[in-house]
Amino acid sequence: MSSPDYALSVTGLSVRYGRVSGVENVSFTVTPGETVALVGPNGAGKTSTLRAIAGLLPRSGVRVRGEIMVGGRSVRGWSPWQVAGLGVAMIPAVTKVFPHLTVKEHLQMSGRKLRSAEYDSAQARVLELFPQLGSRLSAPAAALSGGERQMLALGAATMHRPALLMIDELSQGLAPSAVTAIVEGLRTLTTDGLSLLVVEQSLGTALSLASRCYALESGRVSAEGPAERFQESAELAGSYLGRQSVQDSPAPAAAAGQDNEEPCIKVTGLSVRFRGLQALSDVTIAVRPRQTVGLIGPNGAGKSTLLNCINGAVRPTAGEITLSGRAIRSLRPHQIARLGVARTFQNAELWKSMEVLDVVQLGSHTARLPRRAALARARTALEFVGMTGIETSAVADLPYGHAKLVDLARALATQPEILLLDEPASGLTQSERAAMAKILVRVGADLNITTVIVEHDMQLVRECCAQVIVLSHGRVIAEGDPDTVLAADNVASELLGLTATSTTAAD
Amino acid sequence: MSTAVKTPVADPPARQPWRLRPSAEAAVSPVAIVVGCLVVLLLAWFAFTPYYLYLTVLTAFACIGAAALNLQMGFAGLVSIGNAGFMAVGAFTAVWADHYGGLLVGVLAGGVAAGIAGLLVGAVAMRLRGFYLVLSTLALQFIVAFAGQQIEQALNKPAGFILPIPSVGPWQLGSDRSWLMFALILLAIELIVIHLIMRGRLGRAFLAIREHENAAGVVGVNVALHKMLASGISAAMIGVGGAALGYYIGNVDYSTYTLDLAVSYAAMVLIGGLGSKYGPLLGAAVVTLLPALLSALDSGSSAGYFTQHASSIDLLVYGLLIIAIVLVEPGGLAVLLRRLTDPVGRRLARIVRGNGS
């Protein structure tokens, strides 16, 4: 069945990380010279798919099934260098370049097998595609802006004229003007016969480039077809925005403090810059006591960075954060934890070789309780999340959903004033997700904890949050109650990433 | 109000039936430690030949060092090969403190001095991770060796210092039997202290640092402080062992505390099971008894090939064992053993419950 008509064909691909499913039965094709986009929210399995094709998944602990054909040859289980030998290049989402090497050195390294005349023409072609790089040939990659790094990565990857180029998160963290230039460059490359497989959060950028799209949701292909059809696909919007809740949610706002009460979390003019990337710019928000707030936005919008700033793991470049009136600028994470700030982690397998009861008791570390009290508190927290009878199991032996609940119990055992939840529903199955939503509603209603939830699952946000804050490109673009905010056109298009289309079209 | 809401989460897996309730388990460990030490003592007292008795004493001392090193490496995740240095600090301090009250004062002073050294090393090491951490603990090794050599030169003791045969009250530690008893008492105390640490707040903080340093900080653990504490407590215990061993050998010389010695202790922990409660004791026994086993291969001839090259063959075998363990079962002998005993335990539990399913 090997068909050389396809530059790439993937059939029934499944990737499992231990007990966590990353990709389930995904099939798609890329014909020579075609551009195909994989779109979908964070955690949908897009990057796992690319890594499986490139041979970049670790050998142990990961199970890959299905068929991956590149140019008519089955490459499943191949090493990265073997796949690259077939003319497949990949640009990862984050680490694209070597920070200490110059632009020129990157190109030389990529073109090291070319003869000098070939090299000269290859370099000339790259500089023609991205003229911006020409003036920066002797600059180290660390000094480049995000857009220039992506251009350099593209240039280096195409020195050898690969047959298939895979790009993970093409536009993530890039300024709109840079995205326009890069999209232009890629169009030129594809007219020369290059096949492109682009993973993209921003639907607008994806649609401006690709002829066909595959939407992934929870590891499965939820929609596929020609790019034009995606523009107004209600189905796709549903997977990004969550279905409108049918019944009224049980008024999560009831317990929230009054407008005149002093904010529990107050963030003023917060900016964070790292590695040439503006993660947050001039963010100002206030969360009232006992309120549950959802922090949403496309991937790379700065949601996790904001969470990390509040608990001290990231130091802001500018701006001020006060928790119940106390400035936390000079405090270290453990000191902030002592003020009553708890958080859960996106990766619930963090405490994998610890026993459940030890993990949850870790929650009372800051309280310095006597043994019995610490134990009692841990058991109460485990009961609250419905995880009893597993006290002596190691976290690594639990189903992933249970591990997430144990981590939540750990955070609750600190009896925090402020609870920060980093993607509580990511990696959960549908039923686990529903259970998590119910528990989070109770956290807000029964425990009266001020809660900030970073989440991509809008259904869960609608169920749990009285208020949402939408971040995009490091800025707050909307605030208000979930139904109104999510219904607003600009928010919907921002979450779907449709705004980039207008930018591109305008140029 | 919260009780009315049923969480629709799937039933968690049932508690493994052959394990005791956590509350009962808490009492088991200290009792098991004492009983275990008594059994070894009785066996050695009545059954062993003098040579085996001597080997058992050495093993008991090795256990003291391995258990202490495991607290730092296994539970807190801080790799260290400075342990020979801490042993030397303990032993040299004991030589000095012996004049002020004999064995107990010497051993205690050795522990305190090594503990302080451990805190200092920890204060430097807490800024480092991985490879650099290992190198910084290695530095201690060379500093102590150099200082020991200088002291011996300055005091004109080219063969090191002699420690007298000590006594505790009327009890003179002249025989291997009495030494075994003393070493086992120290070991039992050490194991109980480690057990108490690990079931408390301090122990959980160590585990959290091992699992994820940054997350531990976010949870509220003062990471820098607890790294220093792990290093200090572990070093103090190693120092106590080093001082006591110094008394047992009767001689303290800087040339005893080599890099080989440090590596062999790390080997004990790795072979026995990094982060397992009692695995490192198994590792200590294997590593200590290995030379004796190799000599036995020479079958009668008193100075055969294996005996002559014992020290280099030992290192080779440690190396192979460590590679084998890392490849086959990173949990070490402790996990391998549990794999063998678990089916038995499960069958026992089934019999106790009275159904054959």
Give residue B246's pLDDT: 95
The count of structural domains within chain A is: 2
Q: Does A409 touch chain B (CB under 8 A)?
A: no
Shared domain for A94 and A144, answered yes or no, is yes
Mean pLDDT over B227-235 rounds to 95
Are A388 and B2 inside 8 Å of each other by CB? no
Q: How far is CA B14 from CA A189, A488, B193, B351, in A?
A: 58, 48, 31, 18
**Per-residue tokens: B103:** 């064995």
Are B218 and A311 inside 8 Å of each other by CB? yes
* Interface predicted TM-score of the whole assembly (ipTM), two decimals: 0.79
Shared domain for A293 and A144, answered yes or no, is no
Shared domain for B223 and B341, answered yes or no, is no
Residue B288 lies in a domain: yes
Are B208 and A343 inside 8 Å of each other by CB? no
Task: Show pLDDT as tens, one digit a residue, over chain A (507 residues).
Answer: 444 578 899 999 998 877 677 888 999 999 998 999 998 776 778 888 999 999 988 877 788 999 999 988 999 889 999 999 899 999 988 778 898 899 999 999 988 888 889 999 999 999 999 998 988 898 888 888 888 889 999 999 999 889 999 999 888 777 777 888 899 999 999 888 899 999 987 777 888 889 998 988 778 888 888 887 776 665 566 556 554 444 444 444 444 555 567 888 999 999 998 766 788 999 999 999 999 999 998 767 888 889 999 999 889 999 999 998 899 988 999 999 999 999 998 877 788 889 999 999 999 999 889 888 999 999 999 999 999 888 888 888 888 888 999 999 999 999 999 999 998 987 777 778 888 999 999 998 888 899 999 988 888 898 999 999 999 888 999 999 988 888 887 777 777 666 543 333 333
Shared domain for B211 and B253, answered yes or no, is yes
Domain end, chosen from B238, B257, B276, is at: B257
Shared domain for B57 and B103, answered yes or no, is yes
Domain end, chosen from B257, B284, B313, is at: B257
Residue A386 lies in a domain: no
Higher pLDDT, A393 or B118: B118
Residue with tokens 């990659």: A141
Secondary structure in 3-state letters for B19-62: CCCHHHHHHHHHHHHHHHHHHHHHHHHHCCCHHHHHHHHHHHHH
Domain end, chosen from A202, A226, A241, is at: A241
| Contact between B269 and B285 (Cβ < 8 Å) | no
Q: Does A365 touch chain B (CB under 8 A)?
A: yes
Residue B202 lies in a domain: yes
B27-79 pLDDT, tens digit each: 668 888 888 888 888 888 887 788 889 999 999 999 999 999 999 999 999 98
Q: Which residues of B touch A337 (CB under 8 A)?
A: 217-220
* Confidence (pTM): 0.76
Q: Does B345 touch chain A (CB under 8 A)?
A: no
Are A358 and B219 inside 8 Å of each other by CB? no
Which residues between 341 and 360 in chain A have a beta carbon less than 8 angstroms from any beta carbon of chain B? Answer: 342-343, 345, 350-354, 357-358
Shared domain for A114 and A70, answered yes or no, is yes
Residue B20 lies in a domain: no
Residue B15 lies in a domain: no
Shared domain for A45 and A85, answered yes or no, is yes
Domain end, chosen from A188, A216, A241, is at: A241
Shared domain for A115 and A136, answered yes or no, is yes
Residue with tokens 């296994």: B74
Q: How far is CA A419 from CA A285, A340, A464, B100, B225, in A?
A: 16, 8, 14, 56, 25
Shared domain for B139 and B204, answered yes or no, is yes
A19 is in which domain, residue-wise?
8-241
Residue A425 lies in a domain: no
Shared domain for A59 and A165, answered yes or no, is yes
Residue A397 lies in a domain: no
Q: Which residue in chain B is spatially nearest to A360 when comparing CA positions? A: B204
Domain end, chosen from B231, B257, B283, is at: B257
Pairing of strands A467-472, A292-296: parallel
Burial of A337 (C-beta count, 10 Å sphere; 0-12/13-18/19+): buried
Residue A261 lies in a domain: yes
Shared domain for B68 and B205, answered yes or no, is yes
Q: Count the Cβ atoms, other than its own, within 10 Å of residue B308.
A: 12
Residue A502 lies in a domain: yes
Shared domain for A108 and A256, answered yes or no, is no
Domain end, chosen from A201, A219, A241, is at: A241
- Flag whether pLDDT at B299 surpasses 70: no
Task: Name which of A349, A365, A393, A420 to mutate to probe chain B: the one with the most chain B Cβ atoms within 10 A of its Cβ.
Answer: A365
Give residue A383's pLDDT: 94
Shared domain for B90 and B137, answered yes or no, is yes
Shared domain for A156 and A55, answered yes or no, is yes
Question: For the CA atoms of A459, A460, A462, A463, what is the dihedral angle to 10 degrees?
Answer: 120
Shared domain for B198 and B326, answered yes or no, is no
Shared domain for B156 and B247, answered yes or no, is yes
Shared domain for B354 and B327, answered yes or no, is yes
Shared domain for A272 and A160, answered yes or no, is no
Closest CB to B14: pick one of A357, A384, A389: A389
* Angle value at C-alpha A445, between A442 and A448, nearest 5 degrees: 110
The count of structural domains within chain B is: 2
B341 is in which domain, residue-wise?
258-357
Closest CB to B212: pick one of A350, A401, A439: A350
Task: Quote the percentage of chain B above a pLDDT of 90.
Answer: 46
Are B217 and A365 inside 8 Å of each other by CB? no
Shared domain for B221 and B280, answered yes or no, is no
Question: E strand or H helix at B117, and its extent?
Answer: helix B102-125
Residue B189 lies in a domain: yes
Are B204 and A362 inside 8 Å of each other by CB? yes
Q: Provide CB contacts within 8 A for A128, sequence distance 6+.
A: none
Q: Is A162 helix (H, G, I), strand (E, B) or coil?
A: coil
Residue B4 lies in a domain: no
Shared domain for A297 and A173, answered yes or no, is no
Residue B344 lies in a domain: yes
Shared domain for A288 and A252, answered yes or no, is yes
Residue A410 lies in a domain: no
Q: Is A462 helix (H, G, I), strand (E, B) or coil?
A: helix
With the C-alpha atoms ordered B55, B57, B61, B67, is the resulting torsion angle positive or negative?
positive
Closest CB to A387: pick one of B1, B12, B15: B12
Shared domain for B101 and B244, answered yes or no, is yes
Shared domain for B181 and B219, answered yes or no, is yes
* Angle value at C-alpha A302, between A142 and A297, nearest 5 degrees: 135
Residue A365 lies in a domain: no
Question: E strand or H helix at A451, and its extent?
Answer: strand A450-454
Where residue A500 sits, what CATH number does that domain have? 3.40.50.300
Residue B135 lies in a domain: yes
Give residue B331's pLDDT: 81
B120-129: long-range contacts (C-beta < 8 A, 24 or more apart)?
B121/B82, B121/B231, B121/B235, B122/B78, B122/B227, B122/B228, B122/B229, B122/B230, B122/B231, B122/B232, B123/B228, B125/B78, B125/B80, B125/B227, B125/B231, B126/B223, B126/B224, B126/B227, B126/B228, B126/B231, B129/B213
Are A358 and B218 inside 8 Å of each other by CB? no
Are A313 and B19 inside 8 Å of each other by CB? no
Q: Does B1 touch chain A (CB under 8 A)?
A: yes
Q: Is B105 helix (H, G, I), strand (E, B) or coil?
A: helix
Q: Which residues of A touch B2 (CB under 8 A)?
A: 384, 442, 446
Closest CB to B12: pick one of A361, A389, A414: A389
Closest CB to A351: pick one of B5, B201, B211: B211
Shared domain for A326 and A472, answered yes or no, is yes
Q: Does A312 touch chain B (CB under 8 A)?
A: yes
